[in-house]
């Protein structure tokens, strides 16, 4: 059977890449603009997919890429920037220049015509601007001949101890409307926060990992990294963050702890993406 191929846009440290690799797919092009994230991505995938780096298919700025020169692929994957749509951002959506990166995704779909796509964003996108932003996105995608299915999924429902609600959007280039995609059902929790900390933790499922606001008082509503373990206050570090996001223990974070936590806060939960992408790959 021919191996399914994919591209990894706004790739971060490679959560999508790892999930797709676990499902037997091959990455033929990736793009990430942040220098620190690129360093982590390369450290973990240069041996796994050497052609990605040897053939200059690890792009820095997708807005400057000639889309026609992207290798052919089956699935477009993108955890595209969430700031324009999140509570933490300014909620400007397409008025925010970062929001227009969605149109780069649409343009790649138009030029390359892959069989499917998987997008991930914050759940706030679903109701952003009273739902009009998502309606506009659906119109753009539908006009390109793709289906458009979406659902808010939680990382905690796919084996890892973290709430992390995220909006997943899946579509197929299916003129006959024969493909009926259903999002995966929840699976049992595989590890708890006690397993993460190797001690008795006050919470079974952890807070959503974030980028900012670390070390808020543990009883503060803004706290997300502080826990009581064996009757002591402890904070989530890189090792714990990797487990909460579903990365393997040997995943390399070759940057500072501060950068590492930022990268993990920006990443996708690997098992959730793995479950969704497995259904997409099986349908293809």
Catalytic residue status for 82? yes
Q: Look at phi and psi of residue 159 and say left if phi exceeds 0, alpha if psi is from -120 to 50, else beta.
A: left
Instruction: Indicate which residue of 27, 77, 82, 201 is catalytic.
Output: 82
Q: Do the Cβ atoms of 156 and 204 come closer than 8 Å? A: no
Q: Do the Cβ atoms of 284 and 126 come closer than 8 Å? A: no
What 3-state DSSP class applies to 29? Answer: strand
Count of other CB atoms within 10 angstroms of residue 116: 26
Q: Do the Cβ atoms of 71 and 30 come closer than 8 Å? A: no
Q: Do the Cβ atoms of 24 and 66 come closer than 8 Å? A: no
Helices (H), the chain: 15-22, 35-45, 50-54, 101-112, 132-142, 193-197, 238-245, 257-266, 270-283
Q: Where are the beta strands (DSSP E) in 112-197?
A: 116-122, 149-154, 165-172
Q: Cα–Cα distance between 203 and 225 in angstroms, integer? A: 12
What is the Cβ-side half-sphere exposure of residue 147, based on CA atoms within 13 angstroms? 19
The dihedral over CA atoms of 39, 107, 73, 76, expressed in degrees to the nearest 10, equals 60
**Active centre residues (catalytic):** 82
């Amino acid at each position: 059977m021919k191996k399914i191929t994919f591209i990894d846009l706004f790739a971060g440290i490679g959560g999508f890449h790892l999930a797709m690799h676990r499902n037997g797919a091959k990455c033929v092009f990736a793009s990430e603009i942040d220098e620190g994230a690129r360093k982590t991505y390369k450290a973990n995938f240069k041996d796994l997919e050497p052609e990605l780096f040897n053939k200059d298919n690890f792009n820095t700025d997708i807005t400057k890429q000639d889309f026609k020169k992207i290798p052919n692929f089956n699935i477009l994957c993108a955890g595209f920037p969430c700031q324009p749509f999140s509570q933490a951002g300014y909620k400007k959506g397409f008025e925010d220049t970062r929001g227009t990166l969605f149109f780069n995704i649409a343009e790649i779909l138009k030029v390359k015509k892959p069989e499917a796509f998987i997008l991930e964003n914050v759940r706030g996108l679903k109701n952003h601007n009273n739902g009009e932003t998502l309606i506009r996105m659906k119109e753009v995608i539908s006009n390109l001949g793709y289906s458009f299915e979406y659902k808010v999924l939680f990382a905690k429902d796919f084996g890892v101890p973290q709430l992390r609600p995220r909006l997943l959007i899946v579509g197929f280039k299916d003129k006959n409307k024969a493909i009926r995609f259903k999002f995966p059902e929840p699976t049992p929790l595989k590890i708890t926060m006690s397993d993460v900390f190797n001690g008795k933790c006050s919470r079974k499922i952890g807070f959503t990992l974030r980028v900012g606001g670390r070390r808020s008082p543990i009883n503060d509503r803004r706290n997300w990294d502080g826990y009581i373990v064996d009757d002591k206050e402890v904070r989530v570090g890189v090792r714990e963050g990797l487990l909460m996001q579903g990365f393997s223990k040997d995943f390399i974070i070759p940057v500072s702890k501060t950068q590492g936590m930022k990268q993990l806060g920006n990443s996708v939960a690997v098992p959730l993406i793995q479950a969704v992408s497995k259904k997409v790959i099986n349908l293809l």
